[in-house]
Structure 1
Amino acid sequence: MGTTVRPAALEDAAAACVVLRRSIQECCQQDHQDDSARLDAWLGNKTPATIGSWIASPTNHMLVAVRDGALVGVALLTQSGKLPLCYVLPEFQHCGVGKALLDSVEAKARAWGIGALSLKSTAGACDFFARNGYTNGGMEKTCYGLECSLFWKKLNAAPGADAAGGKRFCNCNAP
């Protein structure tokens, strides 16, 4: 059965938390190196309550990937063009789930009139983002003290998406 990507609902927060925590713990060992302090810092805000607040925020667009009725992936887009989350359960990596999430995020970004996306990638996800047209802009530290790669991708905006149409979320063109 295929993967369905849909907007996250508040009732998805607990399952999304499981996806995030498992993916970080099991797939990002190259980044956290099983260092409990690093891992604890990274996982500290990965709680159902915090994820619920991300879902509820009007400046975010959180998506979930569902396969066979189970939530298997999570992505979060901000109106500033950042992609702070794009995680998939370990057993569903390399099955098209991440690509489906990324395609949906990019479509929403275009609809919002966002011209470029940026993200901080884990070591294990760098090849995934590069394969999907993202450019590696060099290394950067995360707020958790981890080294990561800063990626970006220029998007073609959706037709009619512009500041006059209310789809731009900064005030850079304000009088």
Structure 2
Amino acid sequence: MPIGASGRRDYTPRDVDSTLTIFQRAVFEVASRDYTPAQLEAWADGMDRTTWAAMLERQSTWIAMANDTPAGFASLTDKGHLDMLFVRPDYQRCGVASTLLAMAEQTAQQRGIKRITTEASVTALPFFKARGFDVVTAQAMKRRGQVLRNFWMEKALEGY
């Protein structure tokens, strides 16, 4: 079920719980094929709701809607870093992530940003490669005693 342009909206404070749930479900249910249970726990368990809300409110954040259900979300910093892009497991491969990425890229271009960056998980790497992102470097991030592999990626935006 593709998400059309009318299926996106800006984040509001009432979205804190749904975005946190989407994040945790995506990590535990989708990324589980690439990370150990201990790594998943270190990545997504015990996230402080207040810290989470403050982080999303500081960024440009969008919610993709499927009917009245939040299907995914993305957040972009003022410097063009795609900080988060997560989709509910039951809406994977339905165009949700592509729609949200297009929104982030459009916003970055409107701000005069020439390159968009992200830190892609092992799971998300093929998605970003398929959409024109290049790996700058592989990273090993330490979080709560676990090492999580991911990739610093960037993409030159059209028109620059």
State if a TM-score over 0.5 links the two structures. Answer: yes
Cα separation, 1, equivalents of 2:153 and 2:47: 22
For 1:60-111, what per-residue CA distance to the aligned partner results, in whole angstroms no more than 9, with x for missing partners?
1011111010011011100122112101011111100000000001011111
Matches within 5 A, 1:47-86: 47-57=48-58, 60-86=59-85
Q: Which residue of 2 aligns with 1:27?
A: 30
Cα separation, 2, equivalents of 1:148 and 1:117: 16
For 1:119-155, what per-residue CA distance to the aligned partner results, in whole angstroms no more than 9, with x for missing partners?
1111121111111111122311234231112211011
Q: Indicate the structure (1 or 2) with the bigger Cα radius of gyration.
A: 1
Contact 1:121 1:151 in 2 (8 A): yes
Contact 1:82 1:117 in 2 (8 A): yes
Structure 1: gaps (5+ residues): 159-175
Q: Which residue of 2 aligns with 1:133?
A: 132
Q: Which residue of 2 aligns with 1:103?
A: 102
Structure 2: gaps (5+ residues): none
% identical equivalent positions: 23
Change (3 A) 1:104 1:31: same
SS in 1 for 2:63: strand
TM-score of the aligned structures, taking structure 1 as reference length: 0.80
CA RMSD of aligned residues (A): 1.9
Contact 1:141 1:148 in 2 (8 A): yes
Cα separation, 1, equivalents of 2:35 and 2:24: 13
Write 1 or 2 for the structure with the bigger share of strand. Answer: 2
SS in 1 for 2:73: strand
